[in-house]
Amino acid sequence: MTNTASVPQLTLNNGVEIPALGLGVFQTPPDETVAAVVTALDLGYRHIDTAAAYGNEREVGQALRRFLDRTGLARSEVFVETKVWITDYGYDQTLHAFDKSAGKLGLDQLDLLILHQPLPGEFDLTVEAYRALETLLADGRVRAIGVSNFMPDHLSALLARATVVPAVNQIEVHPYFRQSELLALGAEHGIVSQAWSPIGGITFYRDGSRGSTLADPVIGEIARAHGKTPAQVMLRWHLQQGRQVIPKSVTPSRIAENLDVFDFELTDDQLGAVDALDTGVRGGPEPEQITREAFAYEIPEA
């Protein structure tokens, strides 16, 4: 069931190409990760987004090897992204965090390595971690580097001290939380915005009290007009606005559905109608309040 129709690529600010759509594996249990990732790769996904903190890098690596061995495709065909957790921030610690992640993934080189969160109360430490990413990039251990959950102030503070402009900022973006100012700042600096919870998972898998994007009537009406699903409409909305998306699913039919978004186009009015759903209310943790004390889990050795 391999899908040969390829996903379009986005070009990062250092010339490296990343598929516009990949598979996220946050909350994918380790014992379900190999199956989800192999299913996705068989269908035609060529980007996997994991993180040291997700506890499933080893299984992502197993899935990748299984797929490459079976198909004979080259390692370079699949874009692998992971994230350094905040307990591993600091120059030497972050260099070692690369060894831990690469070891679990079974890879010598990662396509994209990003800082999972800023530590606003320990920004010097965050910058030291970023300097380690710059070293890993210069040494060819990673092909691109970036950040996640950096708000405008954090991004500006980093840009003032960094040598390498981050290639991506992975941030919460879905119809109920658009972060337009942050998207504009990213665009101004050539930073690709990667949308996490792109179909609004955070609006329904934790606390659905403020409504689920999947059940939104405006999105539902647009979906019906195209003979598509709400999830597909949301993914199209991101893609047509230049964002990279990493929908997560462990369900084969949904993994397939989320990839089947390259045969229709939203009109400007439909894009605007989705934009207008923004509530300005974040679903995930407030980045300004992230501390190592509050999220103190240790990342195991490879």
Residues that bind ligand NDP (CB under 6 A): 24-26, 49, 116, 148-149, 170, 196-202, 205, 214, 229, 231, 246-251, 254, 257-258, 284
Q: How far is the CB of 209 from ligand NDP (least distance, A)?
A: 16
- Spatial distance between the Cα atoms of 86 and 89, rounded to a whole number of angstroms: 5
Q: Which tokens sit at 96?
A: 């070692």
List the catalytic residues.
54
Nearer to ligand NDP, 15 or 120 (CB): 120
Q: Between 91 and 205, whose beta carbon lies closer to ligand NDP?
A: 205
Nearest to 45 by CA among 63, 19, 66: 19
CB of 180 to ligand NDP, least distance (A): 19
Integer angstrom CA distances of residue 65 from 6, 72, 126, 257: 20, 10, 32, 24
Residue 272's CB is within 10 A of a number of other CB atoms, namely 10
Least distance in Å: CB of 15 to ligand NDP? 24
Which neighbouring-strand residues pair with 146? 114
Give me the count of residues in the chain.
302
> 233 near 223, Cβ under 8 Å?
yes
Q: How far is the CB of 254 from ligand NDP (least distance, A)?
A: 4
Q: Are strands 17-19 and 9-11 parallel, antiparallel or unpaired?
A: antiparallel
| Nearest distance, CB of residue 125 and ligand NDP, angstroms | 18
Using CB atoms within 10 Å of the CB of residue 33, give its burial: 0 to 12 exposed, 13 to 18 middle, 19+ buried. Answer: buried
Of the two residues 203 and 270, which places its CB atom closer to ligand NDP in the complex? Answer: 203
Least distance to ligand NDP from the beta carbon of 75, Å?
21
Distance separating alpha carbons of residues 189 and 212, to the nearest angstrom: 32
Please state, in angstroms and rounded to a whole number, the distance separating the CA atoms of residues 122 and 89: 10
Comparing CB distances to ligand NDP, the nearer of 62 and 229 is 229
Q: Are 73 and 4 in contact (CB under 8 A)?
A: no
Nearer to ligand NDP, 128 or 257 (CB): 257
Can you read off the two tokens belonging to residue 116? 């999972």
User: 13 or 212: whose CB is closer to ligand NDP?
Assistant: 212
Distances 270 to 222, 233, 234, 266, 294 between C-alpha atoms, Å: 7, 9, 11, 6, 40
Do residues 260 and 231 lie in contact, with contact meaning Cβ atoms separated by under 8 Å?
A: no
